Amino acid sequence: MAGDGEYKRDQNYITTRITADGRDGYPVEPGRYRLVVARACPWANRASIVRRLLGLEDALSMGIAGPTHDERSWTFDLDPGGKDPVLGIERLQEAFFKRDPEYPRGITVPAIVDIPTGQVVTNDFAQITLDMSTEWTAHHRDGAPELYPDGLRDEIDDVAEKVFQDVNNGVYRCGFASSQEAYERAYGKLWDRLDWLEERLATRRYLVGDTITEADVRLFTTLVRFDAVYHGHFKTNRHKLTELPALWGYTRDLFQTPGFGDTTHFPQIKEHYYVVHTMINPTGIIPSGPDLSGWLTPHGREELGGRPFGDGTPPGPPPEAERVPDPA
């Protein structure tokens, strides 16, 4: 937290990469690594979406931490005995401490753990999904989409950076601000960017090009949480997402696309934010709303053209153990 009350995100992550050539000591190998996510977390949700879209389920297993945690890190309380069945640990911090017994920073998801050693390899959420697209290509499913195509990378990177600064991180800068001035600055930047996105998406189906890309994945995970938590809990309340025609249609379009809605777990999302953030919600009461029935209503975005998977195909249904409940 800055002296002026502005929330500053610690962006120092473990930047070791898993690559096809293994240049950091961790070559791509099916079955060797475990992706650890929490359904509640938007940054982790990105990784679970990309893994689904690319069909990496058989090559990269996934552990799911529960929605709540204490200062010691995410726990595997959803699993029998409270332990991840592959890693055999109760808390994600155990994998971080195996890598560095003095690890000084936050224990974050997503994280990829090297199963043989039990050590975390990386928690660099932005690079993890890019590497899934570019380094794990030998294990992509037939029909996997190009989420980070060569010819669009500069534009994807530019849009994604704007979205990160003002929207993905912007909602946190609103919610965790500790002064009125810092909150209002963050609120202004958030809504300036959401207005920009509303205008951009009024005439195009996707953020960059005519197919789903990494940029869409990154925006979706914030928008899908907007009305459920950010609007009230983080005081981002100029409008609800449902009051923004282009953004609401765009987010519903993605939600109804295999890989997006079927990785979104609204009950866990709400439980995490309203229970863990005791400084914002000291009672720990979880709101009953909002009404989720609108997520499956027609969006009409097909009229703008575009092909969700380009020359590829949708992924099949998620593995039974990874299913999430349908929105009520």
> Of residues 26, 33, 41, 174, which has the active-site annotation?
41
- Could you tell me if 47 and 125 are in contact, meaning their C-beta atoms sit under 8 angstroms apart? yes
84-106 pLDDT, tens digit per residue, is 999 999 999 999 999 999 999 99
Is residue 74 part of an annotated ligand binding site?
yes
pLDDT above 70 for 1:
no
**Domains of the chain and any CATH numbers:** 33-139 (3.40.30.10), 154-309 (1.20.1050.10)
* Residue 172 among the catalytic residues: yes
Which positions ≥6 away from 311 have C-beta within 8 Å? none
Mean pLDDT of 119-141: 98
Two tokens, residue 284: 């720990």
Q: CA nearest 6: which of 172, 161, 193?
A: 172
Global confidence as pTM:
0.97
pLDDT above 80 for 235:
yes
* Residue 174 among the catalytic residues: no
* Residue 232, pLDDT score: 98
